Amino acid sequence: PPTHPRRRPASVPMELGEALSEGRIGPQQVAIDESSIHGSLTISGRHRLSLESTSSFASVRANVCVFKGRWMYEATLGTGGVQQIGWATLDTTFTDENGVGDTKDSYAYDGKRVKKWNGAPKAYGLPWAGGDVIGCLLDLDDGRVTYYRNGELLGVAFTQVECQRAGVAYFPALTLSQFERCTLNLGHRPFEYPVPGYRPLQASPATKVSQRVTYLITALKSLLTQRDLTFNQSLSCASVLFDRMVPHLRSPYLMSSGFVPLLWDLYRMGEDPESIGLVTKLFHILEVCLHADDYTYVVESALDYLAYRVLISPTCVPEGAKYQIRSVNSNSASVQGSLLSLKVIYELLSYRPAKIAMLRGSTLSLFLETILYTKEPSVNDLSQLFPLVWWNGCGSADTNQKSMNNALARARVAHGKAEEFVQEIHLLFADDSDPFDEDDTHTMEILSGSPANAWGAWVTDYVRRETNRRWTRHSSSRTAHLSLFFLLLRRLEKPMTERNANGQLAVFDNFPFEDIILHKCYEKFKCTRLGGLLSYLKKEKPFHSRPEAESDLVEREPLTPPSAVASSPRQPRSSALSSALFTTPSTSNVTDNSGESSSTSSASSSSSASISSGASPTVAVTPFAAPRPITAPSPPTPIPSARMSLGIVSSSPTGSPASFNPEFSPHSPAIRQLRNSIDMPTSTPQLLHATMMLVMSRISIWIKRYGFARSDQLSAISHYAASIEMKKQGGLSSLFKKEMDRITDQAVDSTRVYCSYMAFLFHPSRVAGLYQLCGYLAEFFQATYSTYAYEYIPQFYLWFFADLVTSLTDPTASLPFSREPVASIISYVCSHLEDDRIANPENRGLVLQAVALIMQYPDMSSAIEENPAARKHLIPSLLHAFNGRSWFPVSWMLLSLWKRESAFGATNDVHFNVDIFAGILRDQVMKENRKLFDEFLNKLFNNLNWGLSELVVSLGEYRDGGMNNKQLKRRVLDVYDVANALTRLLDCLGGIVPEVFLANQVNANRLVELLLSLLNRTTYGKDSQLFLDFAAKSAAFKKGRPTLPVAALGTMDALWKANCSGTYPIDFVDTIASQDVLNVDVLKHVSTPQWRDEFLAAHQDALSFPDVSVLIAAILKRVDELAADEVDDSDAPDEFLDPLMQTLMRDPVRLPSGILVDRPTIMRHLLNHANDPFNRAPLTVDDLIPADDIKKQIQEWIATKRAKGKEPAQATQKE
């Protein structure tokens, strides 16, 4: 044992005698040694054992050390980040870079990095998560350090720990990265997972004391369950028990081991309808029997420990598993997760005096945040929650799919129930329906008027704190963030659905858009706006409404939701939350040498407005950081009159309770009906702003994580499928078998993670809230569009909106469909698909992405078809977007709207009414915006021409670069998909608007050239050999891809039939036969039954094959006729030749420059260039002058040539 320590912390007095003989040095009451802190730490909690680092690397010791024996303590993780938890000597030096475990005289374990630390890190243990209880064991008899995670042994971490040298003793110590949290249990409470043979650093109460408290609690339980006693009789007996029990309840050990288990037992017994309200009855008696300060202490201590149980308990427990908690009469009892503790908390706080006592205490803020936590499952936890997983193609039995679906359903139900109770607990504070009694001036002074103001102050403080931390990429708790986010959504459920007489959201009546959009926090964090940088907008587009006459906006359809609800009268807003969110209070944060943060705020002036005028008085926000100083003892708190009016108790002339009516328990129908009938005042704009501030900090990360989890799963499944395919091709080596096992494990783990996100994020209540928020954002965008306010909206609003749409339209998640907000969502995305007021093209792409995902979601198809804004704007917006850089995804979107089930190469997954959107193109776009369609068609021709050329180049590089080059092969497949989609789009247009090709010779020529070139390169002959060789070796061309040649033949067949059945000025067969790129051998080859049979056998996805034999016969016949009438123009005069193409002109026109050009040539030039090709002067179609005189001369010259050609033929025929 050390006899002469070199130095000691100032707060650790040397205690010899009994302490020395036990192998420990230090006070009996173990605490944090604040003088040992390096860095900045916030110490909180009733027992000042909850730690949070506010610097990059903060380290601290306890005030007790040990030098022999076996010892342990527990660290409960508030967050799952970088923390080094273990033991350190007095000589361990802490710096900004070195903490516990970074030197040879300290030992630590970090579950974030899954390493142990003793000078140098080594792999050890399992990953941890927030809510885990880490047991830290030190065996100084054998020189070992061991760790447990939630009672599971992680193995011996260190051996040969130095323990025999004089002066060496070990302190519990830990190091936290910035904003990481943990709570220590050094023995002041029973260990959650005690290990036999190891002692706590703080001695537990004497056995006699524990037995005495157990006896008193058992007697109290028996008393409360007696049904033949009156309330006054129970009160008299209980007062005797409390006189002996309350002094012991000051011990957190006895509170958590005796009193709180009593509450669990009483609640379980209270689930019997005949014994309802036992917890309420207990605290009713406590309120009468105890001094106000004692009552506050008991309520606060019980709630603190219950909240701690919520933190460490899993929300969802595997089927058949037992989660153990203490009970009064036994060592353990089976309970499913954290739900029981939440139920007890709710019933306890539903009793108003208990709620007031909690508000009087010092730990309200920590309590409100702790119950928001949801324990995140680790990989091992997920393997127990989802023991069997299934995905399409995994080869497992159907029982696996059923088991996984059942486990997912159980997890969703568990998370839904837990969240319901968490939200109800918070709403007990957020509700303003219970005003304080006028004579309770002390409580009114502390709480700034009402519990709702206290709750609003906490929300404000939390949102501000976490928003500031967002930019440091840290967060106190991701799950707490998410729970508060959905709590605010529930609070906003009514405002986000109520509508005025015009069908608009009533919340936008007199909505403070400027206060929301130009809030200082967005400027502080330099949030980019939809219209660009804020400095540019302030200079060029000041924030004010523009007159409608000067507006350059396209007329938008008004939002037409399925049902318009008349708005209810506006309620007054909570002034505390309003002033806190929209003003910057005079507040300074001061950190003392212990790292504890305190706040001081300047007093705010009272409002002069009268209550009768409808204005809410402005009140000061009082932080709950320090306990209220205890003054002279006051008499027991009288029962408030509000409870008497509800019938919970009846009053006597003295104000003391006379009887207790169990019918009016918090669970009784009467109380629930009363609470639900109260229309509480709301602060809708402020709550909406707080919600979006949470989004800006960390909520969007959760939504993205869900998308990442889905991507990881799809990638793992893809690798698994590829490995299975390789397995079928041949035998497996031992190395390949190991790799196959690794790939399988990766697919299984990623599926479990994906299921956990679906259970946690997307249980039904949360999905409904996300739909409502998504609809609100859409209408928020629409409401600001007539002013410059739209361009001032922070761009993360749009980012989050797009993320929500992505998640809610995931078809594999099978999320419940909420139709009411969908109308607003569809109206916005369809109206603003190509909105030039959104400065960043990537942000405009997010709107396009949202439209694409909505269109892929089958449940959305009817909503799109019925939406007036979609009918008016969707097709024109997509055509406009096709002219930009998003043409490829737009082509698939147009196909889903226009594709015909009879289209060659198409698929059967048509969930849109094609007639609706085909009619919009034919009857609306072609008549009202023909220029837009012509630009689209020109871009379609150009892109298909590029696609075919790029396909040939890619095939050549693939052949020359090696057949095994996966990157080149992927490129060929991608270009093939591009060409195929564009060709199918032409097929659709040929069926919807054939006049575009049959009434315009330029379009007809361009179409036929592309289709014939496509057939030449993919079917037969020298030009097609590259494609045929690749197709023969690629399985992707045999299954799963529509076929390019069939789409081309189908387009030609459809237009020929339309030409035969209608009156059009162009002969389509003649157009085909007159093309220079026509290869007669190719047409003959594709018309043979042999090629057709071979093609259908190779391409199993072809739905039908066009019978083009009649068409090809007509083309070949016309080719022969044209050959007979062909004129040799090799000796034609130069003035008859087109100067650009050097071909004989058929319809010459004169340019303003005086040069003659063939009309088809210059028309094709003007499609892409609006200038004279010879002098670059501006040129339009109207500038072309028909050269009828030259045209007549050309026709005469042709007739002469034909006449001369017939004379030798006639002479030969006579001979």
Q: What is the mean pLDDT of residues 1119-1125?
A: 80
CB 1173 within 8 A of CB 1140: yes
Higher pLDDT, 969 or 214: 214
Q: What is the mean pLDDT of residues 650-668?
A: 34
pLDDT value of position 107:
96
Higher pLDDT, 165 or 750: 750
Number of H helices and E strands in the chain, helices first, is 46, 26
Structure tokens at 789: 């306010």
pLDDT in tens, 545-565: 443 333 333 333 443 333 333
pLDDT value of position 1077:
87
Which residue in the block uniquely carries the two structure tokens 């000051």?
Answer: 250
pLDDT above 80 (res 513): yes
Angle at 393 between CA 387 and CA 398, to 5 degrees: 50
pLDDT band at 182; cut points 50, 70, 90: very high
pLDDT band at 505; cut points 50, 70, 90: confident
pLDDT band at 138; cut points 50, 70, 90: very high
How much is the pTM? 0.76
CB 658 within 8 A of CB 651: yes
pLDDT value of position 17:
34
Q: What is the mean pLDDT of residues 160-174?
A: 88
CB 1116 within 8 A of CB 1080: yes
CB atoms within 10 A of CB 847: 25
Q: For the chain, what percent of residues have pLDDT higher than 70? A: 76
pLDDT in tens, 1170-1194: 888 898 899 988 888 999 888 888 8
183, 189, 184: which is closest to 78 by C-alpha? 183
Structure tokens at 35: 């003088």
pLDDT in tens, 80-98: 889 999 999 999 999 988 9
pLDDT value of position 956:
87
Q: What is the mean pLDDT of residues 27-41?
A: 92
Angle at 201 between CA 195 and CA 204, to 5 degrees: 80
pLDDT value of position 10:
37
pLDDT in tens, 416-436: 899 999 999 999 988 765 555
Which residue in the block uniquely carries the two structure tokens 């979601």?
Answer: 857
pLDDT in tens, 950-973: 988 888 888 887 656 778 888 888
Q: What is the mean pLDDT of residues 1165-1169?
A: 82
Structure tokens at 475: 């967060």
pLDDT value of position 215:
93
Residue type, 524: K
pLDDT above 80 (res 716): yes
Q: What is the mean pLDDT of residues 1116-1126?
A: 82
- Strand partners for 1144: 1137
Lowest mean pLDDT among 336-345, 467-476, 640-649: 640-649
pLDDT value of position 510:
79
pLDDT above 80 (res 444): no
Three-class DSSP category at 106: strand
pLDDT value of position 448:
52
pLDDT above 90 (res 346): yes
CB atoms within 10 A of CB 334: 11
pLDDT above 90 (res 589): no
pLDDT band at 685; cut points 50, 70, 90: confident
pLDDT value of position 6:
32
Provide φ and ψ at 754, rounded to 5°: -60, -40
pLDDT value of position 80:
85
Three-class DSSP category at 990: helix
pLDDT band at 1042; cut points 50, 70, 90: low
pLDDT band at 746; cut points 50, 70, 90: confident
CB 1122 within 8 A of CB 1074: yes
Lowest mean pLDDT among 265-274, 324-333, 439-448, 697-706: 324-333
Rg of the chain on CA atoms, in Å: 39
pLDDT band at 936; cut points 50, 70, 90: very high
351, 1126, 296, 394: which is closest to 717 by C-alpha? 394
Q: What is the mean pLDDT of residues 299-314?
A: 92
Structure tokens at 398: 């159907």
Structure tokens at 566: 């008349």
Mean pLDDT over the full length of the chain: 77
CB 55 within 8 A of CB 170: no
pLDDT above 70 (res 31): yes
- Strand partners for 132: none
pLDDT band at 437; cut points 50, 70, 90: low
pLDDT value of position 115:
95
Burial class (CB within 10 angstroms; exposed 0-12, middle 13-18, buried 19+) of 445: exposed
pLDDT above 50 (res 640): no
Query: Under 8 Å CB-to-CB from 794, ≥6 apart: which residues?
Result: 517, 522, 527, 528, 529, 530, 696
Lowest mean pLDDT among 116-125, 387-396, 1041-1050: 1041-1050
pLDDT value of position 817:
64
pLDDT value of position 1197:
86
pLDDT band at 323; cut points 50, 70, 90: very low
Lowest mean pLDDT among 2-6, 151-155, 989-993, 1181-1185: 2-6
Q: For the chain, what percent of residues have pLDDT higher than 90? A: 24
pLDDT value of position 910:
52
pLDDT value of position 292:
87
pLDDT band at 944; cut points 50, 70, 90: very high
pLDDT in tens, 719-735: 777 777 666 655 555 55
pLDDT value of position 1095:
66
pLDDT above 60 (res 442): no
pLDDT value of position 1120:
87
